[in-house]
Amino acid sequence: MTNRRPVALAPWNGKTEPMEERLSKVEIRKDALQETVQSVASTVGVVASIITTAVKDVAGAIGGLATDVFEIRDGARRASEQAEEE
């Protein structure tokens, strides 16, 4: 018994004959590999996006901390100068 089955009717030479579909093992493997590669590529894209967002958020947080440190240092310097003037 073969793996053939009618899937559609297609005109040919003015006649309508059943079109048959038969997938070879190589084509099935190719399709499975293609689906796998597409899935991996999609997953890598999602993970890269997550990592990119995380790096951006960490850089923002560190930048905010640095700004706070500069402001605290500047405030402490001004307070020290005011204390010396008194």
pLDDT of 63 over the 90 cut: yes
Q: Which tens digit of pLDDT belongs to each residue from 18-62? A: 556 677 899 999 999 999 999 999 999 999 999 999 999 999 999
Answer yes or no: is 78 within a domain: yes
Give the pLDDT of residue 84. 85
DSSP-assigned states of every residue in 9-54: EEEETTEEEEEEE---HHHHHHHHHHHHHHHHHHHHHHHHHHHHHH
What pTM was estimated for this model as a whole?
0.57
The answer to whether 34 and 41 have CB atoms below 8 angstroms apart is no
Between CA 83 and CA 2 the distance in angstroms is 97
Total of domains in the chain: 1
Answer yes or no: is 61 within a domain: yes
Answer yes or no: is 10 within a domain: no
Between CA 9 and CA 83 the distance in angstroms is 96
Give the pLDDT of residue 85. 80
Give the pLDDT of residue 17. 56
